[in-house]
Structure 1
């Protein structure tokens, strides 16, 4: 060979191929993309099976809200049509051996606005047979009316119905466990809660 490629002596030029850097770089980029796609696909599968897709949709629809059921009151219901104490006639009977208990209890109830009917010792059916604080006895129609209203004056009293017709007439039969009526402020609060509107909880989302 002649010119600059002429071979002289024992030295000769080495013919090297040009470097393949572009192909190497492309191979690295392609590998990174494949790994990224595999990772993204795995995350999507996990999100679908764990129910995260629905949460993401809800959050994207309203970014200011955090999905989740909470309780919020619906518009207040109307107050129960319960009779006022001055519309309820209470017959007070003493079923204990302690004398004068019916009279003093009747006077206390009268001061709290109740009408007082008969005041006497209990009949043989109940005499010394009421172990609790008291037995409040009224008509079936008084179950959600006069009976619970009178019951606010003595929490823990037993409420029972009989065949009488008047829904606003109730017997207050004093039992062996009776000590005194509930304190006036406590009875007033109990009556207020009984007649107050009760909101109905409904499901909503917290924002």
Structure 2
């Protein structure tokens, strides 16, 4: 005997595992982890770049007012009148030139020249060196802030005001970034 019913036969329930939702949540968690990793590494790279900019700004020559600098111009070459010519150019740019002469020291100057200064003239010397690219520096024992610009045998010309401004422009930007 067979009996028929109106309802379909009951199927046995299979144990289904929620695999697709778990995979989706795992992918979502990995994506969030990747985003946070990128944010944190970008922040550390930005902090390192800021530190490097600040170090560059600290090591860079300061932007000074030339009228506050006391400069002596010495000629260490065989070309007559070179110290007078360079001193006139420096004066036209606002520097206070106190003495113009041949180099009175026994030092041998090579290259484009040399900037001599004492401990108190460190900033002035770094600023003045911008006007004589390739010049070396010499620290002596003088107690004043006076700086000597000694012209060497490879001297051709002073840096133009535009070249000096171009050198100081990135430095000012770095200093501004460091103060924030």
Superposed displacement of residue 188, structure 1? 3.9
Aligned to 1:4: none
Aligned to 1:23: 11
Label 1:15 to 1:137 Cα distance change in 2 as closer, same or farther (>3 A): same
Q: Deviations over 1:38-76 (max 9, x none)?
A: 34445655766x5834847xxxxxxxxx94635498xxx
Label 1:158 to 1:53 Cα distance change in 2 as closer, same or farther (>3 A): same
Unaligned runs of 5+ in 2: 51-56
Q: Does 1:122 align with 2:99?
A: no
Label 1:166 to 1:97 Cα distance change in 2 as closer, same or farther (>3 A): same
Q: Does 1:113 align with 2:94?
A: yes
> Secondary structure of 2:98's partner?
strand
Q: Could you tell me the TM-score, scaled by structure 1's length?
A: 0.61
CA distance in 2, matches of 1:172, 1:81: 17
Label 1:44 to 1:201 Cα distance change in 2 as closer, same or farther (>3 A): farther
Alignment of 1:23-102 (within 5 A): 23=11, 26-27=13-14, 30-31=15-16, 34=17, 37-42=18-23, 44=25, 52-53=32-33, 55=35, 67=39, 69=42, 71=46, 83-102=64-83
CA distance in 1, matches of 2:87, 2:160: 15
Q: Which structure is higher in strand share? A: 1
Number of residues of Structure 1 aligned to a counterpart in Structure 2: 164
CA distance in 2, matches of 1:166, 1:201: 30
CA contact (8 A) 2:63 2:168 kept: no
CA distance in 2, matches of 1:153, 1:95: 17
CA distance in 2, matches of 1:198, 1:95: 39
Aligned to 1:131: 110
Aligned to 1:156: 134
> Secondary structure of 1:199's partner?
helix
Unaligned runs of 5+ in 1: 1-13, 57-65, 203-207
Label 1:104 to 1:21 Cα distance change in 2 as closer, same or farther (>3 A): farther
Alignment of 1:153-192 (within 5 A): 153-167=131-145, 169-191=146-168
CA contact (8 A) 2:62 2:126 kept: no
CA contact (8 A) 1:82 1:146 kept: no
Q: Deviations over 1:73-126 (max 9, x none)?
A: 8xxx9xx98642111111111111222111111111111111112211113522
